[in-house]
Homo-oligomer: A and B are copies of this chain.
Amino acid sequence: MTDEYRSARRAEIAEAAQAAFRRKGFQATSMAEIMAESGLSAGAIYNQYKGKADIVHDVANRISRQRLDELDELKAQNPLPAPSAVVRALITAMASDLTAPAQLLQVWGEAATDPDLAEMCGKVYLTMRQAHIEYISLWHQREHGLSPEEADAVGVAQAPLFLSAVHGYVVQSTIVPDFDGAAYLDAMEALLPR
């Protein structure tokens, strides 16, 4: 069997598991449910994954990776809009998959007790933050004529707060019954500095 086949099958399993996890959570989802969702047998699944924990990690990885992929697309695309517009684009991309925010929140919640997951989430965050630091710095240099050092300092200070806009969106869209995403994005762009 070819490598290509292997990874295709892993994707098949991971997608089924992701759907099941989304419904019941990581811990409360049984292997039997993943088997039912994927239509595969225990043997087929254990041929691809070491165990349930292995699947959980792979799915969490996928969910996080998707956010980084969106970041890459943004980087390749834009001229130089305000940082808040970048955050808007990031959130819009994420929210285009309606289940993505809740899934991210599930992963973060799990990371609170799983060191491996915490490390993965931390790495993803650091990549995100670094990209924002560089972007904010660049934007302040061009737009306000700051020196690279001054601009970097601004980026380091502000990047975590721009990312908080993402975190707030994730939490509120999952938890708040009457959450209005569009109004949230408008308020963010009005509030964050330019």
Contact = CB atoms under 8 A, between A and B. Distances in A.
A86 to B, nearest CB: 16
Interface in A178-194: 179, 183-184, 186-188, 190-193
Contacts of A126: 176-177
Contact of A161 (B27, B177, B191): B191
Interface residues of A, number: 53
A175 B105 contact: no
Nearest to A160: B184
Interface stretch (A8-16, A70-78, A166-174): A166-174
Contacts of A112: 25, 102-103, 105-106, 109, 174
A53 B160 CA distance: 36
Copies of this chain, tallied across the complex: 2
Given A118-B175, A121-B175, A168-B167, A28 B108 contact: no
A122 interface: yes
A192 B163 CA distance: 14
Contacts of A109: 25, 105-110, 112
Nearest first, the 6 closest Cβ-Cβ pairs linking A and B are: A109-B109, A164-B168, A27-B27, A25-B113, A167-B171, A167-B168
